[in-house]
Structure 1
Amino acid sequence: MLPPAAADAESLEIAAQVQDIEARLLLSQGQAESAAVTWEAVVIAYEQSGDLSLAQQAQLSQAQALQSAGFYRRSVDLLTALTTRLSAQPPSELSVRAALSLGEAFRLTGALAEAETQFQTSLQGAESLSLADLASAVYLNLGNLTRLQTESSRGQAADYYQQAITRAASPWFRIQAQLAQLDWWIAEAHWQDAYHLVSVLWEEIATLPLNPTNVYAQIELVEHLQAIRQATLTTLIDLAIANFDGLADTAWTAFVSQTFAAEPDSLRSSYADSQSIPEQSLWTALDRQFLPLADMATRLATLRRTAQALGNAQAEATILGALGNLYEQVEDWDAAAQVTQAGLVLAQSYNLVQVTYGLQAQLGRIQLAQGDRSAAISAYQASVQTLQVMRADVVAVSSEAQYSFQKSIEPIYRELATLLLEEGNEGTSADNLKHVLGEDIL
């Protein structure tokens, strides 16, 4: 029979193990804040049982969950305390991970110099312990950090991403690095490199086990595909118009609208039937290789079933939004509205404001295309109201989040302002627009 103290310690450890499983489940379901609260209880239980090593591991998990939930400063405080304690111990995988997470937290709060210091510390530990995947993760984060620094240093990002790809020992870490590299190629308009990489990733990522992280990676991949496709079609339209300058009569306008609103196969057929449109090597080559939207929709449908099986409402709502955007691209407005509305209802039922505002704006855009201006204005106004709820949290914590937030919301405010002005009602004065849209936007 165990002494009372040993029995108590064993009971505490069992309770901690059960709560650790619960926290991981909550995180997999997109409930990061609840997961962080549960891991806090795990930390306390392990400390009371005397197992400080497991307590430190749980504290790292708690800090990472806080980051996922947007509580960056609380994450910084926890990780700073944790890395200080770990620095008095021999280097370990835990100390490498903690320094990496603290670097990420510093980056998110705009402390770029401190972030680089932690990344270099983490890299040194990963190299000394031969932790290839963690070294890959550090190089990926150095690439992300470099993109926030001076314009002259931005070019280093591509080198860091390539290092991350080269160093990765496991397929998943390599794919994460490739996704970051793909985002860089698109941001820098390196379309040929971007399409080559996205074609490789489309096949590779589908071979990995489906879990929450993989689901979000595949959603990101589809969004990148849509960005490349839109750039391709827009450029082809511009090239065609430039070569038909002065000939934009009714027949030509009809030809352009029919050709470029079509699926890629139809687009290629239109090229073949017309001897007047010049061959544009890069853009027509991209178009010829482009994945049909039907393939993207099939992948998203599979991902939605996975998200449902995992109980991850945030992932499912995001997938429904991406699927609605695909329907937008082929101008199936009824289907686009139906799918977007389903995602919106799901996001609102779980209070997922970071997903809700985008879906509200997307629904407004679709309703405008359907000719329902009143409904579109209501949807855009709802999106702005959701953004007002988010604004205080974003402004209070993260410079990177502030930049991303501003970049994503500006089109929503501009579209609403345009609609209100076009309505010509009494509520469209400058003062009223400032009241509706926010003083700092106009």
Structure 2
Amino acid sequence: MAKIQIPRGTQDVMPGQVELWHYIEQKMRELCHRYNYGEIRTPIFESTDLFLRGVGETTDVVQKEVYSLAWIKDKQTKELTLGETQQEGLTLRPENTAGVVRSYVENKLYGAANQPTKWYYIGPMFRHERPQAGRFRQFTQFGVEAIGSADPAIDAEVISIAIRLYEELGIKGLSVELNSVGTLEDRARHRTHLMAFLENVRHDLCPDCQERMDRNPLRVLDCKVEKCKTLTKDAPSILEHLSEESAAHFQAVQDYLAAIGIPFTINPRMVRGLDYYTQTAFEIKMAEIGAVETLCGGGRYNGLVADLGGEDMPGIGFALSIERLLLALEKQGIALPVETGIDCFIVVQTEQAKATAFKLLDQLRQAGVTAEMDYLGRKMKAQLKASDRLQAKFTAIIGESELANGTVVLKEMATGEQRELPLGELAGAIRK
């Protein structure tokens, strides 16, 4: 019988690796607490219509990458075409901004006294795309959302959260690329000039860009195909068509970033891949990460709350992949200070001592000591080797004489020093 293997584009995070995840996630939680962002947890799957309306029907994410599920009704699976599935079904979340905004609207947070609403999330996302280094079909995102303020200072705050996280983890060589994609009115003015330019090169563009021209021509400027980059290098910039208000907002974001010492470059071609972005858009990159250099991306999404049925409230956020963050740490040779090993391994010399050892093991654990014992009936020498493999700080040995005396021999593994003490004093001695 053939082995059942892990689905392509997914991974098992094993003991020995998962501790790095715990460390990073704790850093994220601590950082967000300092910035006064609370955690939100939304469902892994949502109505497909949420992503059609929120992320955008014209995006590559919705067109090519979503995992949609058949609609389940009365315990019977209704047969649906792909189009019907998108209209009526459920979709594994490809990103979480839409879900967070849906929750914000559904719980009427726009009426809350404390504004803006500041949330963060950590959780799995799903996209059907070609797996490569730092890119999976199931991946974990950390993101923040600030909803309810149009102040450019909060744009700078959101960017700073991502930068400070990378800095606190020791990552070097970061660059912030900044752009404004303007308001809907700004983009309408720009679209007229951009389409006039693109029509002259339409048939030389890649097939994806030819489709984007009709759906969302601004995204042609973000194409990664070298030929398309060359053909569009002189295309009209969105920055040339910003309203006075949008231009002032963009300049203020730059001023706030400069005030807190975060360097950036302006990239007028960077538009991001989701339709909900307005005004500020940004990416954080690391040149040496490999084929995928973008570590983080985000931007402002004024209008999304209203599109999903709420009052018209501005918002801004970002998301980053923890898998890609781990790849960056690996590329730069950064070892996180993750604790390994256990406090104590109990070695049993005789079968008669096992019940006492098991009771002692429970007492140690209740006292806050990480402890383990042998469950394979191994000889004393093999148990000591197991203690070494688990990187135990102490080994507690119980034999015939210790059992008779109600004592235990405690050995400190780093020094080899050992002493005999009453069973009831073991936990306190280890904690010291």
Give TM-score, length-normalised by structure 1.
Answer: 0.24
Higher share of residues assigned strand: 2
Select the structure of larger CA radius of gyration: 2
The structure whose RCO (Cα within 8 Å, separation 6+) is larger is: 2
